[in-house]
């Protein structure tokens, strides 16, 4: 009798343990393994005279920390109707990685940084003003993805020349009017990319197939023309964005890509 009660008690304890040790639902395991995408950031804030001064400009500044992923590309936009926007991007230790005054375009005094981190880590965004003034601002941070042409263009012996136009309908993920072209580049070869236009203040961007920013240029081609000289380290597809400095101009242009001697 005692033995039977002992066995029954053990069975009851085992049943209780089984009820408390429920397996984790499969759905939760799958969700935990999914990569978390970057959630866009938008901050409406105020600079005031009592804010800590920026170490470079000695102007009121606010600092924000954000984690960025290696080899992704991010766009930082700072706009204000009260002061001349100035953006600085620092690494975790406070070393400057990028800065901008009026790259936001649109004919205003807005700032923009396009940046691809070399490692996954916390980064610091410094919001300040070039003119030392204070006031309201809007800071936006988003991950950037660029889709190129379905069929990339080969760069033959005589190079590649494209005559085209930027029209009001030609929007790009950069938030600028422009055209995107995809080209095949070869490892170990240096290429010269020229954007010439009688109508717009030319601006060039070069991205790899993963939307990582490799180079950008405003006036290196002489006058208001743009030029990028780039040596490819691997075979692959690269994307060229032909646009204008402020991103709102329309007109004709010539894009040339050639192998450098």
Residue 179 CA to residue 145 CA, distance in Å, equals 15
In this prediction, residue 60 carries a pLDDT of 96
In this prediction, residue 102 carries a pLDDT of 81
Q: Contact at 8 Å (CB) between 127 and 139? A: yes
Q: Contact at 8 Å (CB) between 47 and 61? A: yes
Task: Set out the domains of the chain in order of their start, with CATH numbers.
Answer: 41-144 (2.60.120.380), 153-259 (2.60.120.380)
**Bridge partner residues of 179 (DSSP):** 242
In this prediction, residue 35 carries a pLDDT of 42
In this prediction, residue 36 carries a pLDDT of 56
Q: Contact at 8 Å (CB) between 50 and 29? A: no
Structure-block tokens of residue 3: 């033995």
In this prediction, residue 30 carries a pLDDT of 29
In this prediction, residue 105 carries a pLDDT of 60
In this prediction, residue 107 carries a pLDDT of 55
Structure-block tokens of residue 180: 């995107």
Which of these, 214, 208, 41, lies nearest to 115 by C-alpha position?
214
In this prediction, residue 28 carries a pLDDT of 30
21-43 tens-digit pLDDT = 333 232 333 232 334 578 999 99
Taking 50 as the pLDDT cut, the residues of the chain under it are: 1-35
89-124 tens-digit pLDDT = 999 999 999 999 987 765 578 999 999 998 999 999
Q: Contact at 8 Å (CB) between 78 and 142? A: no
In this prediction, residue 17 carries a pLDDT of 45
In this prediction, residue 192 carries a pLDDT of 98
Q: Contact at 8 Å (CB) between 57 and 111? A: no
């Amino acid at each position: 009798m005692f033995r039977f009660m002992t066995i029954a008690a053990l069975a009851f304890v085992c049943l209780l343990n089984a009820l408390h040790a429920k397996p984790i639902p499969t759905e939760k395991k799958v969700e935990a393994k999914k990569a978390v995408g970057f959630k866009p950031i938008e901050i409406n804030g105020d600079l005031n005279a009592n804010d800590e001064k920026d170490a470079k400009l000695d102007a009121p500044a606010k600092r924000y920390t954000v984690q960025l992923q290696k080899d992704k590309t991010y766009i930082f936009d700072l706009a204000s109707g009260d002061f001349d926007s100035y953006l600085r991007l620092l690494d975790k230790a406070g070393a400057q990685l990028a800065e901008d005054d009026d790259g936001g375009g649109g004919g205003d005094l807005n700032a923009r940084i396009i940046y691809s981190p070399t490692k996954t880590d916390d980064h610091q965004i410094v919001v300040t003003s070039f003119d030392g003034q204070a006031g309201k601002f809007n800071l936006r941070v988003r991950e950037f993805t660029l889709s190129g042409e379905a069929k990339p263009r080969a760069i033959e012996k005589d190079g590649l020349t494209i005559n085209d136009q930027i029209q009001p309908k030609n929007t790009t993920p950069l938030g600028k009017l422009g055209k995107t072209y995809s080209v095949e580049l070869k490892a170990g070869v240096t290429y010269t990319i020229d954007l010439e236009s009688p109508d717009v203040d030319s601006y060039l961007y070069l991205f790899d197939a993963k939307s990582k920013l490799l180079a950008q240029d405003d006036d290196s081609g002489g006058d208001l023309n743009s030029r990028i000289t780039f040596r490819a380290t691997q075979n692959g597809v690269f994307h060229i964005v032909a646009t204008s400095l402020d991103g709102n101009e329309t007109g004709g242009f010539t894009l040339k890509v050639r192998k450098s001697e």
